[in-house]
Structure 1
């Protein structure tokens, strides 16, 4: 009984210490200044082009982004000498929702925004600030074919689906960078892991694949977690981008997948858009001009290879 009485004060002391360690910390997180966010990705496809302008929100603010509705947005085609603008395209915001649009005046209008090999300049004036960016439209190969094969969803599963595989061959002679996305039954697949990037049809830092067929991991990258089902419609869309655009998407993908116990604090991805005023407020986002090549197929016997249906 004496032994129990000796330990009793220690137990009470331990309980007191543990109880006293419960402290509620009410932190106040300062708001960051709002920045102009620019989503400007133009293509060589006919018809309407769009540039979206919004204001950034604080990290823990889950509300919709505020549209920027009072900006002046211009895109110019730069001369071959690089010292003048040969054509100008004025973007307007007809719906007052921050989506600035340009489209040909009519069906016979031959003006085209987006020609491979040409350079384009973006100019945005918002309030007292002006922002500019330059981007070139790179070359791009076609997507030669799109096929499907029946496979297990994973090696230990008895469930099967249809794996898509597209074929394309990199153009020889220079470094080429690609952004690839895919649609299932008309719906864009937009998980962070669905951001597919390729360098010369392979991964940046891998063996030299200049001028070769895209490697298999890239060819088979456009697949959902449980693969496709019979009669699914699949569209592969490939865009050629600059090395700066590749780096932007590479860093953005890393930010989107930045989670877990040891995740680093989120940070803005570097932009190619600059404020013309020294020390003026920076913008976020990126300006790209890309040629687009697509291939669409349905999971039917016509496009099956290997074991078939």
Structure 2
């Protein structure tokens, strides 16, 4: 009996591996397009953008179409600002910031904002609170001859900052190499206080490694890992304050998009739409996707000397 059980196990395993090699052409159900709102605003002195598009089928690899002709506003306790659609970029709505206006509109920690988007006969809203961020103390480069994650003789970078005292701060840590944002799923970093989640007790301490690492995930033509930095490269780091809902949203984005494929995908979390704070004011109206958040931002840069 034991032999038969082992044989059955071997045959099932062989069948499983064989089936993984078959070409599958899934027939996915079509669904009506949904509004997608990309509204990550901040207190930096730069133009603030709200991007609207329509959702697409999972296997559609074309650029999502922008949504033109919408009305986009942000209301706060001091007034309301209107976003104007770019003439040459359908679906991109812009508010032009200056030193004075940025400080007045997005310079108050604790202020609440309401985004309103009107598309045709439907109105969507979302709210966000601007939370505190923390300053970056320094950035350091490290030369390592035997780092197992990177090739021999690699340079890596990390920032040093301390979480504010008081539990519950959430952050999006954004890195740039040579002014190019690091936005691959493997490069997205979010923090709860100075740790990875609310389950830890990392309030008011230095951000943990690898949260403070700011290293691009780059490979050569043979898919071999490259050294994150070479002499002459620059790194820039920003710490964006985000709401707890935005922290959860970004964690879901990481789970849904950082999928290397292979046999391990059999046991991965199934693909699904991530959470959203965009709500149709008509409970019977079409749903929306995306997120609205307003951040306070601190930043620092450094160049790896030749």
Q: Does 2:249 match 1:244?
A: no
* Matched positions, count: 271
- Cα distance, 1:205 vs structure 2: 4.5
Q: Distance in 2 between matches of 1:199 and 1:294?
A: 18
Query: Who is 1:128 aligned against?
Result: 121
For 1:299 and 1:168, the matched residues in 2 are separated by 19
Task: Find the counterpart in structure 2 of residue 162 from structure 1.
Answer: 155
Say what the alpha-carbon RMSD is for the aligned residues.
Answer: 2.4
Which of 117, 142, 153 does residue 149 from structure 1 map onto?
142
Partner of 1:202: 195
Within 5 Å, which residues of 2 pair with 1:10-25?
none
What is the TM-score of this pair, normalised by structure 2? Answer: 0.82
**Aligned match of 1:92 in 60, 65, 84?**
84
Question: How far apart, in 1, do the equivalents of 2:165 and 2:38 lie?
Answer: 31
In structure 1, runs of 5+ residues without a counterpart are: 1-23, 80-85, 302-309
* 2:235 is equivalent to residue 234 of structure 1: yes
Shift in Å, 1:113: 3.0
Shift of 1:50: 0.5
- In structure 1, what is the Cα distance between the partners aligned to 2:99 and 2:192? 37
* Corresponding position of 1:66: 65
Q: Kindly tell me: are residues 25 and 90 of structure 1, through their superposed partners in 2, closer, same or farther at Cα, counting changes over 3 Å?
A: closer
The TM-score, its normalising length taken from structure 1, stands at 0.81
Map of 1:113 onto structure 2: 105
Q: Paired residue for 1:279?
A: 284
Unmatched runs of 5 consecutive residues or more in structure 2: 1-22, 218-224
CA 1:227–1:73: 2 relative to 1, 3 Å? same
